[in-house]
Amino acid sequence: MIEKETRSQDDVDLPWQVVVHNDPVNLMTYVTMVFQRVFGYPREKAERHMLEVHRKGRSILWSGMRERAELYVQQLHGYLLLATLEKVS
Amino acid sequence: MCSSCMGISSSQRSKKSVDMEICRREDKLEISELDPFLAELLRQIPASTNPEGAPAAEKRLFSPPADRSKTEQCSEWKLYVEPELRRLFRTATETVAADLEQLNGNEKPFANRKLRIPTQHADAWLNALNQARLVIAAKYNFSDGELCDHYRSPIGSRRDLGLFQLNFYGFLQEFILREIDGCSEKTSD
């Protein structure tokens, strides 16, 4: 019963995504470093996301529980990146 | 010991001119041969982070965490998160301002200066330089084309100066990032 309740709570919380938007001022190397630091991504993955932001205007960096996504968005704003929290429609 | 070195000049080359040099010396980043103009640009970093009087700059530094239609989310952010961000940005700027005190010595007015930045202040410098670059870009509303123009010369207007300042701060950010990266690679070895 408890397990069921937990699962349904997760269903409510999932799926939120952390989106980073393009900004012509932030340096590419800086954005890559921020992705490595905030999400712990290896350099190659961080660079892939950075290039996606640069070329497509946005990239979904992470998806999952709302609370953690909010924390990530807050950290990204601390580094002055344009980041938003979106619910997967 | 000098792990890396790069140079920049604010004036046209002549036999007498000395380029600014930026090096890593043990636990400090050292910027030497800073001519009075570049030293003044560095002194301007704390003031340049101030978005007052430029709503576009304020909006950029404190952008919303979600689509503006999500009013509840945005108002909660303004209430709880934004003050934290303001504190974080202010602390970074204060650290940089304290380091910049070195430039206010008693040297001759036109003598070149030297600035030493402790490596543990690198994050504060990256943050303050980024604040300054975003505020300058928002105040002047530079186009994408202008932002890619790293060699505009000569400086003939306030706008040109703003662009030079933005590029100079970007150059410093690149150097600091390279040094941080070098350190983390050495640590992980």
Distance in Å, alpha carbon of A1 to nearest chain B alpha carbon: 32
B174 vs A84: CB contact, 8 Å cut-off? no
B76 in contact with chain A, both atoms CB, cutoff 8 A:
no
- What local confidence, expressed as pLDDT, does residue B29 receive? 93
How many CB atoms sit inside 10 A of residue B95's CB? Answer: 20
A27 in contact with chain B, both atoms CB, cutoff 8 A:
yes
B65 vs A80: CB contact, 8 Å cut-off? no
Residue B125: pLDDT above 90? yes
A74 in contact with chain B, both atoms CB, cutoff 8 A:
yes
- What local confidence, expressed as pLDDT, does residue B1 receive? 28
The phi, psi pair for A23, rounded to 5°, reads -145, 120
Tell me the pLDDT tens digit for each residue of B143-172.
888 888 767 666 788 999 999 999 999 999
- What local confidence, expressed as pLDDT, does residue B17 receive? 56
- What local confidence, expressed as pLDDT, does residue B110 receive? 73
- What local confidence, expressed as pLDDT, does residue B4 receive? 38
What average pLDDT does the structure give for chain A?
A: 89
Determine if the pTM surpasses 0.80: yes
B130 vs A78: CB contact, 8 Å cut-off? no
What residues in B contact A86, CB-CB < 8 Å?
A: 66-67
pLDDT: is A49 or A7 the higher one? A49
B127 vs A83: CB contact, 8 Å cut-off? no
B65 vs A86: CB contact, 8 Å cut-off? no
Name the DSSP class of B143.
-
Tell me the pLDDT tens digit for each residue of A56-85.
999 999 999 999 999 999 999 999 999 999
Which residues are registered as beta bridge partners of A19?
A60, A84
Which of A17, A25, A29, A67 to probe the B interface (max B CBs under 10 A)?
Answer: A25
B6 in contact with chain A, both atoms CB, cutoff 8 A:
no
- What local confidence, expressed as pLDDT, does residue B188 receive? 53
A27 vs B173: CB contact, 8 Å cut-off? yes
Alpha carbon distance B26, B1 (integer Å)? 6
pLDDT: is B144 or B124 the higher one? B124
How many CB atoms sit inside 10 A of residue B150's CB? Answer: 11
Distance in Å, alpha carbon of A41 to nearest chain B alpha carbon: 14
Walk me through the domains of chain A, giving residue ranges and CATH numbers.
2-87 (3.30.1390.10)
